[in-house]
Amino acid sequence: AATCVSNATAFEPNYDESKIAPYKLPDPLVMEDGSAVTTPGRWENQRRAELLELFRKHVYGFSPEPCQIRSERVSEKQVLDGKATRSEVDVFFGSGDDAASMRLLIYVPTSADGPVPAFLGLNFQGNHSIDSDPSIQLNPGWFRNRGETTDGNRTTEAARGVAADRWPVDLIVSRGYGLVTIYYGDIDPDFDDGFNNGIHGALGDSLTGVEDESRWGSIAAWAYGLSRALDYLQSDQCPSIDGDRVAVIGHSRLGKTSLWAGASDPRFAMVISNDSGCGGAALSRRAIGETVGRINTSFPHWFNDKFNEYNENESALPVDQHELLALIAPRPLYVASATEDRWADPKGEFLSAVHADPVYRLLDTDGMGSDAAPEQMPSPDQPINEGVIGYHLRTGKHDLTEYDWRQYLEFADRHLRSSRPR
Ligand code: GTR
């Protein structure tokens, strides 16, 4: 993203593997007291909870308990030559008239003969950037400035349809899936205001008994919004989508967000991390490309304040990001990287999946497939997708492309096709 160097002091990223300081990853299958986790029950009942708590305390922050939601359908229209029904639905964080809200843009295939599985993901440039149809309302909220698509932190008509490449609606719907997307700024505007705006401001008072330094950052707020969207998709208000078969997807900072959403909310049936990098899938201890210190300097609001203690001090972290992936086990997880996206450390993203594999195997799945996790990174454009953890390294830049989507659709065909009893 264009913002990555704006407010930085001199920072030279390291891209040289030989300069990585020796590190030891924490073992997801060893409790903090040193005892081994050797049964699925001990993982589920003890270690998983312990790790979640550690990520809340040291990395993403504690979020409030789920609030009540209510919803209001704003529009409904047949689109794509009648192939899909598109609707806009406002979901409110709370029952009061003045509760904060986010707007869901929802596509459902019209040919479906029952509730469909769906992808749910936040978008960067507004729902009106997914599709150039002028009947989608321009989002009235705060936007990071980005060329002619914005003017003084407001979106402009020029933003219509600009992100259509990242959201191949026709392809998704033709394959029998629904798509639900939300502008991330509806939940929390992406700038540092001391955690006061967005739902931080609206719901923050309900978060009590948490040290200031461990209160929720923006990634946790965005993930909280995704969980409330899932509340809606699982409710009677949304009969066309099967809320038990929702894959949460995100790119980059929103990939970090989909991982935290999937880790903290086990109702997400599948989780996709597209080029999520530092604070997402990439191992922090490698410190290749973007580092903990760098991300906390550029984006002080994404993580909790305590995460700053690990700037240039990653080995002091009680967790690393493979354990975030492990929190998603045994549910299907797909991690994707891109060859030119060195800032996000593709190898660190791959290794994270490899080191989450033992937890998946303990939980009786085939992890990354075959008998053991792969030792080598796959070649570009050679997905690993036989198991319940998928991975690919796409040729090209930091982006979410049709190639990526085709892999996710194939993976979803394997794992989300048949409905599961609730
Ligand atoms: C960059 C940031 C990355 C990634 C990216 C994005 O500036 O350094 O961690 O999140 O933004 O979200 O596009």
Per-residue pLDDT tens over the stretch 364-403: 999 999 888 998 999 999 999 999 999 999 999 999 999 9
Model confidence band, residue 417 (pLDDT cutoffs 50, 70, 90): confident
Indicate which residue's Cα is closest to atom 8 of ligand 1. 4
From CA 247, how far away is CA 262, in angstroms rounded?
Answer: 9
CB atoms within 10 A of CB 140: 10
The answer to whether the peptide bond before residue 330 is cis (omega within 30 degrees of 0) is yes
Residue 281 pLDDT > 80, yes or no?
A: yes
Distance 290 CA to ligand 1 centre (A): 9
Distance 269 CA to ligand 1 centre (A): 26
Asked if 373 and 384 count as a contact pair (C-beta separation under 8 A), the reply is no
Q: What is the pLDDT of residues 157-179, one digit of tens each?
A: 999 999 999 999 999 999 999 99
- β-pairing, 116-123 vs 241-251, is parallel
Model confidence band, residue 4 (pLDDT cutoffs 50, 70, 90): very low
Pocket test for ligand 1, best of 343, 345, 398 (most atoms within 8 A of CB): 343
Residue 422 pLDDT > 50, yes or no?
A: no
**Distance (Å) of CA 260 to CA 139, 208, 417:** 25, 21, 24
Would you state the pLDDT for residue 2? 39
Distance 140 CA to ligand 1 centre (A): 24
Asked if 62 and 207 count as a contact pair (C-beta separation under 8 A), the reply is yes
Would you state the pLDDT for residue 371? 86
H or E element, residue 67: none
- Opening angle at CA 347, ends 277 and 318, nearest 5: 60
What residues pair up with 272 in beta bridges, in sequence order?
249, 334
From CA 28, how far away is CA 40, in angstroms rounded?
Answer: 13
Annotated catalytic sites, by residue?
A: 252, 398
What atom in ligand 1 is closest to the CA of residue 294? 8
CA 333 to chain centre: 11
Model confidence band, residue 9 (pLDDT cutoffs 50, 70, 90): low
Pocket test for ligand 1, best of 59, 188, 253 (most atoms within 8 A of CB): 253
pLDDT cut 70: percent of the chain above it: 97
**Mean pLDDT of the residues in the chain:** 95
pLDDT cut 90: percent of the chain above it: 92
- Opening angle at CA 352, ends 183 and 363, nearest 5: 95
* pTM of the predicted model as reported, rounded to 2 decimal places: 0.97
Distance 279 CA to ligand 1 centre (A): 10
Q: What is the pLDDT of residues 38-63, one digit of tens each?
A: 999 999 999 999 999 999 999 999 99
**Token pair listed for 15:** 């891209």
Model confidence band, residue 271 (pLDDT cutoffs 50, 70, 90): very high
Residue 336 pLDDT > 60, yes or no?
A: yes
Considering only CA atoms, which of 68, 66, 34, 28 is closest in space to residue 48? 28
From CA 192, how far away is CA 189, in angstroms rounded?
Answer: 9
Residue 301 pLDDT > 70, yes or no?
A: yes
ipTM: 0.96
Model confidence band, residue 419 (pLDDT cutoffs 50, 70, 90): low
Would you state the pLDDT for residue 370? 86
Type of residue at 140: P
Q: If you ran DSSP here, which 8-state letter would residue 331 be given?
A: S
Helix/strand/coil (H/E/C) assignment for every residue in 69-136: EEEEEEEEEEECCCCEEEEEEEEEECCCCCCCEEEEEEEEECCCCCCEEEEEEEECCCHHHCCCCCCC
In the chain, helix, strand, coil percent, each to 5?
35, 20, 45
Model confidence band, residue 327 (pLDDT cutoffs 50, 70, 90): very high
Indicate which residue's Cα is closest to atom 12 of ligand 1. 253
From CA 220, how far away is CA 200, in angstroms rounded?
Answer: 10
Sign of the four-CA dihedral 61, 67, 71, 74 = negative
Q: What is the pLDDT of residues 208-242, one digit of tens each?
A: 999 999 999 999 999 999 999 999 999 999 999 99
**Distance (Å) of CA 94 to CA 191, 218, 251, 298, 409:** 24, 19, 28, 32, 34
Residue 413 pLDDT > 60, yes or no?
A: yes
Residues lining ligand 1, judged by CB closer than 6 Å? 1, 3-4, 252-253, 277-278, 290, 295, 298
Q: What is the pLDDT of residues 84-109, one digit of tens each?
A: 999 999 999 999 989 999 999 999 99
Model confidence band, residue 418 (pLDDT cutoffs 50, 70, 90): confident
Size of the chain, expressed as the number of residues it contains? 422
Q: What number is the average pLDDT over the span 76-88?
A: 98
Q: What is the pLDDT of residues 121-162, one digit of tens each?
A: 999 999 999 999 999 999 999 999 999 999 999 999 999 999
Helices (H) and strands (E) in the chain, counts: 11, 11
